[in-house]
Amino acid sequence: MYDRLQAVENRYDELNELLSDPDVVSDAKRLRDLSKEQSSIAETVETYRHYKEVTAGISDTKELLAEKLDDDMREMAKEELSELQTEKTELEEKMKLLLVPKDPNDEKNVIMEIRGAAGGDEAALFAGDLFRMYSRYAESRGWKVEVMDASPTGIGGYKEVIVMINGDGAFSRLKYENGAHRVQRVPETESGGRIHTSTATVAILPEAEDVEIDIQDKDIRTDTFASTGAGGQSVNTTMSAVRLTHIPTGIVVSMQDERSQIKNKEKAMKVLRARVYDKFEREAREEYDANRKSAVGTGDRSERIRTYNYPQNRVTDHRIGLTLQKLDQIMEGKLDEIIDALILEDQTSKLEHLNDVE
């Protein structure tokens, strides 16, 4: 571990020198990339340097205790040694976590796609409930939510809603929401009062920038058509809706939320870029997961990750066996308790893998 920490510190010093190099300063992209890399390892370097100061302090205090001291000085030295050893242990645990490989997408914005699945109208209503839950959660963290496209039903739900969530670390927290969500409740449309089970799926995609994935114009087929509203009625007689097909992967994105064809195409390109990037990311991750199954899944959209039981005011996350009797609060966007538990489980799993490798 210490060899790796020293290597990180050496790289940090190297980056300091590079960032003052006139050739780097004049290259905006390289300057941005190196600055980002330096920022990403700054906390690790600061912690490691503090650790070295603490270990040096322990060594000095032990040497002091080996000398002839009066009782008061000896007691003070013993107390200081105890405090330094406790701090050393805490710093070692922190450094282990800091060495856990970071997800390069963690600081990115999110494109979230919510769809009603099994359950007809009730599934669409639940999709709408999830959309409101995530919107409130985003608001509580100061993130901006923009609806990219939506297919509302006549009773207040959504067949599908696609939103962009902009904010610091949005992907790092929302990526655990990827999967199938199950609801158990008496539907508003059910007169008999029987509990139904329905599902909605949530897809969390990191926003991909042009520099990260190169999509050639020749690889995209663009079709235009008239926008339609709920139930299929025409809401726009102009050909403003856009359908983009990425020919190499077969990924298709349709967008009709805006009245402008240009704006719909811009939004569709953002979603298309994110979906293509996500496809390549998931393919690369499959090989990794084949060797080490993650305790907290973030890739399989068919995986049932959570159940929302309304009669018992209960939410259960099946990946980590967490059950909370706080459904009413969670549906108001108070998701931090669940997400924090998922992050802790994920970090613990990665740390165990890191220790196995070492």
- As given in the structure block, the two tokens for residue 181 are 């969500």
Q: What is the 3-state secondary structure (H, E, C) of 50-95?
A: HHHHHHHHHHHHHHHHCCCCCHHHHHHHHHHHHHHHHHHHHHHHHH
Q: pLDDT tens, 74-105?
A: 899 899 999 999 999 999 888 887 887 777 78
> Does the global pTM surpass 0.75?
no
| Domains of the chain by residue range | 2-99, 110-348
Spatial distance between the Cα atoms of 117 and 199, rounded to a whole number of angstroms: 5
Q: pLDDT tens, 218-242?
A: 888 888 887 665 444 445 556 778 8
Residue 312, CA atoms < 13 Å, CB-side half-sphere? 12
**CA dist 308 → 26, 81, 85, 153, 329 (Å):** 54, 51, 45, 22, 12
- The class level of CATH for 2-99 reads mainly alpha
Percent of the chain past pLDDT 70, that is, above it, reads 87
Let me know the angle formed at the C-alpha of 197 by 191 and 163, rounded to the nearest 5 degrees: 105
Spatial distance between the Cα atoms of 222 and 220, rounded to a whole number of angstroms: 6
Spatial distance between the Cα atoms of 187 and 177, rounded to a whole number of angstroms: 24
**Which fold does the domain 110-348 belong to in CATH?**
Alpha-Beta Plaits (3.30.70)
- Average pLDDT of every residue of the chain: 84
Using the predicted structure, report yes or no on whether residue 318 has a pLDDT greater than 60.
yes
In the DSSP assignment, the letter for residue 1 is -
